Structure formats: structure tokens, C-alpha cells
Amino acid sequence: AGQVWVEMPTGAMDADPDVKADFARSISRDLIPLLVGALDAATDMTVMPDETLNGKPVQVLQFSRPAAGTLTLLVDAKTFEVRGLRYPVDGTPTAPQALETYDDYRETPSGLRVAYKSRLERDGAILERTVTSVFVNAALPADAFVKK
């Protein structure tokens, strides 16, 4: 627990403190714990006025996270699919905001709907991701989380 490393073609290397902090902030954006925390009143959540994202109405939920700043969740007003996340890049209130957007939701054979396209706008850079396949409850090798 608490170990963070990055696997490169040249081998695994320990992550530096900035990378570790970025990973921790990323984990704090995981939607399941956020929503369960709001349901259990363990996480402060505020319903904000609706907005428009890419021309479509979205409901806006704002989560207060002491260690990682405010996260804004943008939810499709008709389908309730998550359409976006806004958050401070370094977890401080005055930091520039990152925007992640999600699109091209498809149903998997197990019935789970997954966004096959996402876009991250952060620090002036844009990263676009496309999911090519989804496996639900797939078996992992025993050493999947062992540093090599």
C-alpha cells in the first residue's frame, strides 16, 4: 500500500512526489466513491444551476474535496450519463481548471454503458482517448500489481 511506480519499456521506476500527488488526485475523482459519499453524506455535494456542454443541457453537481479541490460533475439532463468533469489541476482553489468530457456511450454485453470517447483539456494540452474494447470482471494475472 502507498507504493507508486510507473512501468516504462526500460523497466519500472518509482514515481516522484509530484506524480504520486497527481495519481492521488486522480483517484479522488473516481465517480463511484464520490457518488456513494454524497449519498451517505460523507462528501459535501451541492446541486448547481444547469449548464450547457457541447450544445446539450447538463445538470451540475459540485463536490467539495478537502485534499483535491472542488470537482464539478456534468450530467446529461436526459440520459443521466456523465458528460464531463471539471477540477483544479493541482487541487488548489486558484489552480487552472481541467475539463474531461465523455461521449459515444455504448452498452457492453453485460449491460454496462461505457463512454468510448473522452477528451482531457489540461494545461493547454488536449488528450483524446478512444476505448476499443471493454471486459467486465475479467481475470487479472496474480502479479498484475507487483512491481517488476
- Summarize pLDDT for 44-88 with one digit per residue, the tens: 889 999 999 999 999 999 998 776 788 999 999 999 999 999 999
Mean pLDDT of 128-147: 90
Which residues are CB-neighbours of 116 under 8 A, at least 6 positions away?
Answer: 103, 104, 105, 106, 130, 131
Residue 121's Cα: distance from chain center in Å? 13
User: What distance in Å separates the CA atoms of residue 38 and residue 48, rounded to the nearest whole number?
Assistant: 14
User: What distance in Å separates the CA atoms of residue 88 and residue 27, rounded to the nearest whole number?
Assistant: 14
Quick one: pLDDT at residue 106? Answer: 96
List phi, psi (to 5°) of 107: -90, 135
In our burial notation (b when 16+ CB lie closer than 10 A, e otherwise), range 28-62 reads bbeeeebbeebeeeebebeeeeebebeeeebbbbe
Q: Work out the pLDDT band at 133, boundaries 50, 70, 90.
A: very high
pTM, rounded to two decimals? 0.82
